[in-house]
Amino acid sequence: MKSLVILISGRGSNMRALLEVKPPVRVAAVISNNPKAAGLEIAKKYDVETAIVDHREYQNRKAFDAALAKKIDFYRPSLIALAGFMRVLGDGFVNRYKGKLINIHPSLLPAFPGLRAHEQALENGVRIHGCTVHFVTPRMDHGPIIIQAAVRVLPNDTKETLAARVLEQEHLIYPEAVRLYMEGRLKLSGSHVEVSNDTSENLVLCSPELHK
């Protein structure tokens, strides 16, 4: 069975979604740069091996990236999933795992990359917001898109209420993206992702909220 390594920095809610849904994959390890990450205890409850590569123990990003890569390579994963991993990874690291490193971002990319995505959505008055699973490239939050989910932005939304509804969709599409990858149904074609046996019912864009 193909294996997955998950990288976290905090509570690991998307990690939990991957563990609960159980896509066709063995989770080889959960690795965190934060020794106090709450997600580490959650992973242990699921009998998943955990490891720590504390970024504060390294003089620079390059040294940290090298240590993290060494730890990841120990598990020989088929795919690496960033799940709330709050460290910027260097170009060398990203290119090392090109095509097998994915991330989930709380916006409909390419809109609102980086931090404060929900605040940016509210400040810009968008009517539709959401989340995106994408392949990681050296340009932050601009990699080829695998799957997205959309939610309405309500007139009385705050960043907290909007974030909560988006997070529900994150927990749905991240396991789906992992499943598609592990089934060999994703093909990178330049800046686009081709999905074999694509159907509009569950791929590309999920928007259950918009059909209520």
Looking at residue 204, its pLDDT comes to 53
Span 171-201, pLDDT tens digits = 999 999 999 999 999 999 889 999 987 654 4
Pick from 28, 33, 19, 39: which is nearest to 65 by CA? 33
Looking at residue 200, its pLDDT comes to 46
Name the average pLDDT for the chain: 93
For the chain, how far is it from start to end, CA to CA, in angstroms?
38
Asked if residue 53 lies in contact with residue 64, where contact means CB atoms within 8 angstroms, the answer is: yes
Pairing of strands 186-189, 128-135: unpaired
Looking at residue 160, its pLDDT comes to 98
Sequence letter at residue 25? V
Enzyme catalytic residues: 105
Phi, psi of 36 (to 5 degrees): -100, 10
Phi, psi of 109 (to 5 degrees): -60, 145
Read off the pTM.
0.92
Q: What angle do CA 108, 110, 115 make, to 5 degrees?
A: 80
Asked if residue 93 lies in contact with residue 65, where contact means CB atoms within 8 angstroms, the answer is: yes
101-115: average pLDDT:
97
Sequence letter at residue 22? K
Domains recognised in the chain with CATH numbers: 1-97 (3.40.50.170), 105-212 (3.40.50.170)
